[in-house]
Structure 1
């Protein structure tokens, strides 16, 4: 491993080879061969912030690591660690003390509220002319859904008429698409 430090013999910043590592580094100048000890750069300790991970009706208390200077926003995609398990999550709310905010620096955050987005259950309402059939589909969070396209779920063929997104809007135009973790409900008619 090589690092750049000031060499007292060369009187300049030069590349040094790391000879040994302990509490300090023993380095040798690649220009003149001078040996010296330099202090190791200390990595700032990571902050482990409490994260509540919701996954299809259940919640777990997990943790998400941040660096001291990191900032978090609602809708950020992060990785939460729950013991030996790790989940891809989306931040739905940020708590700083007794307030909920849209953005905060890591040291200010007391709890992150998140939902798992790797595997999701999509709610589908299929209308067959007389009644609406509720169907649930477990799928990858990144699976695309397109208005106007045909799908088969639980043996039922249907065409998507519109998509209701979690953040509010309704997608009705043919060809518009989104991914499963953004969908609140899919509406379609049976073929």
Structure 2
């Protein structure tokens, strides 16, 4: 009978289904995706690993931990729950450190540190331009809160209309109705009403 388990494939660089070919202390398996044969660690020794995570919270940073499965592959942009003492925070991975180098993805056991930012509650910067001067405003909102180009929002005593949104991944949204979550915003450009 064929035994199939999930393991990290060094060729595919992700967790895939593997056919177990040999038993014993150093078992081997064949990846069902690419067909490569390689040694695997026995399933019964798999225990979750705790990876050091530096969590950026705007002006401050805190060292926390993220619990991961040893074969789990982490990528920039992945979301995790970080344990910071008694507190648990939703975070997004911004950089992955393996030894002295930074990589775009890595297996949990290879990671030295995760550089993350808090995303469950974020500070959004808004530049309000009235034609002569620009005023900078900061608001704190839930990370999933959507902002839409062309919509009217109230910030404190002001009413503003969003004209553009600069996103963290580099682009600027200008089209009416373009929507993005607060955690992806670098800056909002608006004018007063």
Q: TM over 0.5: same fold?
A: yes
| Count of aligned pairs | 151
How far has the Cα of 1:129 moved from its partner? 1.8
Task: Tell me the secondary structure at the aligned position of residue 109 of structure 2.
Answer: helix
How far has the Cα of 1:43 moved from its partner? 6.6
| Equivalence for 1:66 | 68
Which of 56, 70, 79 lines up with 1:77 in the alignment? 79
Q: Distance in 2 between matches of 1:62 and 1:190?
A: 40
1:102-151 alpha-carbon deviations (Å, 9 max, x no partner):
10011110000000001111000011121111101010011000000000
Q: Distance in 2 between matches of 1:162 and 1:69?
A: 41
| Equivalence for 1:167 | 169
Structure 1: 5+ residue stretches without partners: 1-40
| Equivalence for 1:135 | 137
Which of 111, 114, 117 lines up with 1:115 in the alignment? 117
Matched, 1:150 2:146: no
Give the alignment's TM-score, normalised by structure 1: 0.77
Q: Distance in 1 between matches of 2:52 and 2:100?
A: 15
Higher share of residues assigned strand? 1
Q: Which has the larger radius of gyration?
A: 1
Q: Is the 8 A contact 1:135 1:154 kept in 2?
A: no
Structure 2: 5+ residue stretches without partners: 1-42
| Equivalence for 1:10 | none
Give the alignment's TM-score, normalised by structure 2: 0.76
Q: Distance in 2 between matches of 1:99 and 1:58?
A: 24
Alpha-carbon distance change, 108 to 130 in structure 1, aligned in 2, over 3 angstroms: same
Q: Distance in 1 between matches of 2:86 and 2:93?
A: 21
Q: Distance in 1 between matches of 2:156 and 2:188?
A: 15
| Equivalence for 1:95 | 97
How far has the Cα of 1:45 moved from its partner? 1.8
